[in-house]
Amino acid sequence: MRYLPLTDEDRRAMLATIGVGRIEELYRGVPKAALLDKPVDLPNHAGEIEVERRIGTYARRNLGASSAPFFLGAGNYFHHVPASVDHLIQRSEYLTSYTPYQPEISQGTLQALFEFQTQVALITGMEIANASMYDGATACAEAALMACRVTRRDRVALSGGLHPHYRDVTATGARFMNLDIVALPADARGTEDARVAIDDDTACVIVQNPDVFGRVRDYSSLAAACHAKGALLVIVVNEIVSLGAVMSPGDMGADIVAAEGQSLGNPMSFGGPHVGLFAVREKFLRQMPGRLCGETVDADGKRGWVLTLSTREQHIRREKATSNICTNSGLCALAFTIHLTLLGEAGFTRLAEVNHAKASNLAKTLAGLKGVELLNDTFFNEFALRLPKNATDAVEELAARGILAGVPGARLFPKERDLENLLLVTATEMTTDEDMERLAKGLAEVLK
Amino acid sequence: MTIRFTTTGNRGLDLEEKLIFEQDKAGRTAVDLPEPGSHENRLGPARRKKPIGLPGLSEPQVVRHYVRMSRNNYAIDAGIYPLGSCTMKHNPRLNEKMARMPGLADLHPLQPQSSVQGAFALMNELAHWLMTLTGMPAVALSPAAGAHGELTGLMTIRAALEARGDARKVVLVAESAHGTNPASAHMCGYEVESIPGDERGRVDLMALKERLGPDVAAFMITNPNTCGLFEDDIAEISAAVHDAGGFVYCDGANFNAIVGRVRPGDLGVDAMHLNLHKTFSTPHGGGGPGAGPVVLSDALAAFAPLPFVVKDGETFRLVETEDESDSHPYGRMKGFHGQFGVFVRALSYMMSMGADGLRQASGDAVLNANYLRERLQNALSLSYPGPCMHEVLFDDRFLADTGISTLDFAKAMIDEGVHPMTMYFPLVVHGAFLIEPTETESRASLDQLADLMLGLVAKAKAKEVEFFKASPTLTPRRRLDETRAARSPVLRWTPPAPKLAAE
Amino acid sequence: MAALKYTDQHEWVAVEGDVATVGITDYAQGQLGDVVFVELPEEGKAFAIGDQAAVVESVKAAAEVYAPISGEIVEVNEALNDKPELVNEDATGDGWFFKIQIDDESELDSLMDAKEYKEFVKGLE
């Protein structure tokens, strides 16, 4: 077994040093009835050739984005990751290092986290960002809990434009903390005015921009309405590339931003692992969950970085911690920060422009198809179409033709009959003209 | 000895590296993108009108930036990390290759289910391995990390209790538990009470029995526990908790000690999370990502959160709503289906090791820890006499009257080229040293660690206080001022204020 | 001013008329290490004896500070917001936390005097 360095001779000698005859004697404390006397009923060890073959069998049964015209979004996006990113994150010192609890030998990780926190604060227009959470949905749930702590209120209003997974994860977390959730109805038409949901018990209103239907809005007036009632505004961002072209949540007056960073640096990977971004106004710093990296100096006066404000966290505060979170999404955050560093201001804004251009042209083409209605007045790279038939059926038929056409409304909103004909379509810099033609042609065919 | 000062601040191969923000040149980029081409602007009034302030660098500079920074990091690929409770074992590169396979890395979670049957089959296979290794009938795959798994397990328990009309208010936690245990219980809406350990370092069974009652929803135990000891009363503990109508939650962080040899399902455990990034070798990546699937008993399986994979004949189906199955999921824990990329890595490892390899791994892990115990126990103060499991616990009694703390000792280890052990955890002993070598350390590596630690003990006994207080001296940075970082937090770079014009 | 009294949670109490000043002892600040942050109660808030009134944080630890007697907070030491290190430098003087109106003087009888506290601390070590 290639991962086990001990030889039988080593084992014999070490057992002799310890003074026992067999390894099994070291398991004396285990109740006899619970000790297995032979390996469990699973295959024995295998070499790389065999493992690659078996995993490859699973892979070959799937149709991936790199093999088909691809138009899905809804919180997970198909973007190009520059070759340098994957190369750099696989350097041993990044891939196989631990949480930077010994800062003197972790300055690589810590400096990268400091840069990551700064980049997240810059793109979201907020003052402080943490070193990442598991994903956007759990970040959203943590934002709700934090808003309740900060305002000392227990009601959370969720926009009908919020991704249903985010809504459900937030509602689950809130219910177990005896908080009250007010969920506004699905806002496919973009007519929601979330101000009606604010009352004196509201801790926060949570909206998404662009929303799950792709709509881009300025939430400044909602922010003002929240603040007038002593509530916070939480803005969720699913498609982080949108911040290259859309007004930042901070500029709209957001108090907390909970976002998904997967679009930069990280493959879709069937939904995980991803990277949650979390940014707040400085005055709320001590109520923020998650790891934080801070700047300081060493004994020689040289600049360096450490994890800081740890007294918010579980390993010190235990049940009084701001959260139970123990990991961040380290390597995914690193991939994010490397990608964004490669892009820079010019690249990030250009990337956003290209995404929008593709989506704009695609939307125009598809809206021209018979019976197809574009629901959005505004969008970034994702928009909602109303088809003249069931969208789930249309998507299945297109998949059979080798086209991954988008996310049908019923997949996200299974109980909303009137969203059955809704199709969410996304275009990114990966979408080619041929892809778009094939979709238009295919869609026209299945809608006949 | 001459100390040479350099103009650059670099020292041979030790290279300083500024922040990206300090290397900015406007307009520069490391990614060539096509022109957007003509299109109608559909962004509306909320389009961005201000610059963001991101720095511009070229590709050679970016690569150099991250390569130089990486060289300031210790890593498991470079040397031993004897961190108790972390299981820092070798991270096979095969796992990385498997996770990046087209047909796995480029799948969207909301694709038509017919187009991702292989992905569901892979998740199902992982679930099968986890259930077989633990002897449990069900598993919830969606939690993103161990702590997330703890929360999932507790929420499942709470849902099960509420379903039988028996909502309870308290969760008992072993005193030596990891901080995530009480934090998770709190996030589940429970009051937390601690059950002390006894003089043998195990849960005080009498104290537990005395406290159990109709208000206790669950007892959270780690087995082997955070002192590296097997909770030998576990059968009685589980029986007592069940008799009182509660559930046993097991923190599976230390599963590496028993994988392939003991099944928690045989010990009366009702729910247990596994850390795929510990026992199952997925990389720590500087702090994450992990995955924390939770194995569940029959009584709890029906309440597991959404979504989960079921098999209908030959086809796999993802259950995403309550109506799609007979169970009563309590809610959802995360976006999409779970840490699929981590699943692939873990399964790749499991297939590589096999049932026989995993059994050998746990045995070697326990052997390695006991070997270190044997080599160190006369010099350091062993907290609990007798054999340990996969990790061994010492405390700072051996440093009494030296003026040297556990922290100082750890910093001196750094100069010797190793990562220190876990310090100051568990809290049940003073100045804890928790050492977990794992099975992927060779005997030579263990001997080197033991030798250097014995050398440091000798220095400590000789009261070479200055030596320890000054450590580390050979690292890119010396000891960092954590007080300053906490008193005056600087959590991001900000552009320096423009210089005032001369009067 | 009368002599300081002490709790078994390492708070000291200095009584002046019907107001008691409260802080943590020099022993406590030594155990905590460098204090980085103090979360003070709101002025006007009422506490019962033993209620958690404040939190003091060092780099590696956080400790609750309890109301040693029942009463309403009449003043807090705002200086600690900018200079938490005062708790380390002068725990029983400038590092005071809050002043509390004494509801029930008899509660002071249950506190330790200097000699008793010294014995108590010795017993811990």
Residue-wise pLDDT for C89-118, tens only, equals: 999 999 999 999 999 999 999 999 999 999
Enumerate the residues of chain A whose CB falls inside 8 A of the CB of residue C36: 311
Is C84's Cβ below 8 Å from some Cβ in B?
yes
pLDDT at B18 over 60: yes
Q: Which residues are CB-neighbours of B60 under 8 A, at least 6 positions away?
A: none
pLDDT of B503 reads: 46
Closest CA of chain B from A132, distance in Å: 10
> Whole-angstrom Cα distance, residue B376 to residue B392?
10
For A101, name the nearest residue in chain C, comparing CA atoms only: C60
> Whole-angstrom Cα distance, residue A404 to residue A66?
11
* Interface A:C, Cβ pairs < 8 A: 17
CA-CA-CA-CA torsion for A123, A124, A126, A127, nearest 10 degrees?
-40
Contact residues, C window 7-46, toward A, CB-based 8 Å cutoff: 36-37, 39
Find, among A323, A209, C44, the residue nearest to B184 by Cα.
A323
pLDDT at B499 over 70: no
Which residue in C36, C39, C56, C59 has the most chain A C-beta atoms within 10 A of its own C-beta, making it the best mutation to test that interface? C59
Domain ranges in chain B?
94-350, 355-477
Matching CATH number, C5-107, of 2.40.50.100, 1.10.260.40, 3.30.360.10, 1.10.132.20:
2.40.50.100
Residues of chain B with pLDDT > 90, as a percent, come to 94
Closest CA of chain C from B274, distance in Å: 28
Closest CA of chain C from B366, distance in Å: 31
> Whole-angstrom Cα distance, residue A45 to residue C35?
53
Closest CA of chain B from C93, distance in Å: 21
A11, A260, A314: residue with CB nearest B183: A314
- Tally of helices (H runs) and strands (E runs) in chain A: 14, 13
Residues of chain A with pLDDT > 70, as a percent, come to 99
Alpha-helical regions (H) of B266-339: 298-301
pLDDT at B460 over 50: yes
B76/A350 Cβ within 8 A = no
Arithmetic mean of pLDDT over chain A? 96
Enumerate the residues of chain C whose CB falls inside 8 A of the CB of residue B486: 34, 36-37, 57, 59
- Burial of residue B380, with CB atoms counted within 10 A of its CB: 0-12 exposed, 13-18 middle, 19 or more buried: buried
pLDDT at B482 over 90: yes
Collect contacts of A221-226 with beta carbons under 8 A, ≥24 apart: A221/A195, A222/A194, A222/A195, A223/A252, A223/A253, A223/A254, A223/A255, A224/A253, A225/A195, A225/A198, A226/A198, A226/A202, A226/A255
Query: Ramachandran region of residue B293, left (φ > 0), alpha (ψ -120 to 50) or beta?
Result: beta
pLDDT at A326 over 80: no
Q: Terminus-to-terminus CA distance in chain B, angstroms?
A: 49
CA B12 to chain centre: 35
Q: Are C119 and C37 spatial neighbours (Cβ–Cβ below 8 Å)?
A: no
| Cis peptide bond upstream of A69, omega within 30 | no
For B488, name the nearest residue in chain C, comparing CA atoms only: C36
A14-51 pLDDT, tens digit each: 999 999 999 999 999 899 999 999 999 999 999 999 99
Closest CA of chain A from B462, distance in Å: 24
Amino acid, res. C84: P
Enumerate the residues of chain A whose CB falls inside 8 A of the CB of residue B29: 342-347, 350
Is C62's Cβ below 8 Å from some Cβ in A?
yes
Domain B355-477: top CATH class: alpha beta
A63/B351 Cβ within 8 A = no
Residues of chain B with pLDDT > 70, as a percent, come to 99
Report yes or no on whether pTM surpasses 0.90.
yes
Domain ranges in chain C?
5-107
Contact residues, A window 179-208, toward B, CB-based 8 Å cutoff: none
pLDDT of A315 reads: 72
> Whole-angstrom Cα distance, residue A207 to residue A227?
15
Arithmetic mean of pLDDT over chain B? 96
**Mean pLDDT over residues A105-120, rounded?**
98
B189-219 pLDDT, tens digit each: 999 999 999 999 999 999 999 999 999 999 9
> Whole-angstrom Cα distance, residue A86 to residue A106?
20
Beta carbons within 10 angstroms of residue C93's beta carbon: 11
pLDDT of B278 reads: 97
B288-344 pLDDT, tens digit each: 999 999 999 999 999 999 999 999 999 999 999 998 888 999 999 999 999 999 999
Find, among B383, B391, B349, the residue nearest to B366 by Cα.
B391
C36, C59, C62: residue with CB nearest A317: C62
Domain ranges in chain A?
1-37, 68-81+344-446, 83-339
| Cis peptide bond upstream of B426, omega within 30 | yes
pLDDT of B325 reads: 86
User: Please, which chains are in contact with C (at least 3 CB pairs closer than 8 A)?
Assistant: A, B
CATH number belonging to domain A68-81+344-446: 3.90.1150.10
Is C63's Cβ below 8 Å from some Cβ in B?
no
Q: Are A172 and A159 spatial neighbours (Cβ–Cβ below 8 Å)?
A: no
User: Quick one: CA dihedral B397, B197, B182, C35, positive or negative?
Assistant: negative
Q: Are A72 and A78 spatial neighbours (Cβ–Cβ below 8 Å)?
A: yes
B341/A270 Cβ within 8 A = yes
| Cis peptide bond upstream of B289, omega within 30 | yes
CA angle, residues A387, A375, A217, in degrees to nearest 5? 150
C59/B483 Cβ within 8 A = yes
Is A60's Cβ below 8 Å from some Cβ in C?
no
**Strand runs (DSSP E) across A284-431, as ranges?**
293-297, 303-307, 373-374, 382-386, 407-408, 422-426
Find, among B251, B241, B236, the residue nearest to B168 by Cα.
B241
Lowest-pLDDT range, A96-110, A146-160, B489-503, C62-76? B489-503
User: Quick one: CA dihedral B183, B185, B191, B193, positive or negative?
Assistant: negative
| Three-class DSSP category at B189 | coil
pLDDT of B498 reads: 74
Beta carbons within 10 angstroms of residue A293's beta carbon: 28
C37, C57, C59: residue with CB nearest B482: C59
Q: Which residues are CB-neighbours of B81 under 8 A, at least 6 positions away?
A: A98, B74, B88, B419
Question: In B, what residues contact C, Cβ < 8 A?
Answer: 424, 482-483, 486-487
Residues of chain A with pLDDT > 90, as a percent, come to 94
pLDDT of B2 reads: 67
pLDDT of A152 reads: 93
pLDDT of C61 reads: 83
Amino acid, res. B232: D
**Strand runs (DSSP E) across A372-444, as ranges?**
373-374, 382-386, 407-408, 422-426
pLDDT at C1 over 60: no
B30, B263, B419: residue with CB nearest A347: B30
For C36, name the nearest residue in chain A, comparing CA atoms only: A309
pLDDT at A318 over 90: no
The residue whose two tokens read 């440093």 is B399
pLDDT of A74 reads: 98
**Mean pLDDT over residues A367-383, rounded?**
97
Matching CATH number, A83-339, of 3.40.50.80, 3.40.50.300, 3.40.50.1110, 3.40.640.10:
3.40.640.10
CATH 3.40.640.10 for domain B94-350, yes or no, is: yes
Is A283's Cβ below 8 Å from some Cβ in C?
no
**Mean pLDDT over residues B154-174, rounded?**
97
Q: Does ipTM surpass 0.95 in this model?
A: yes
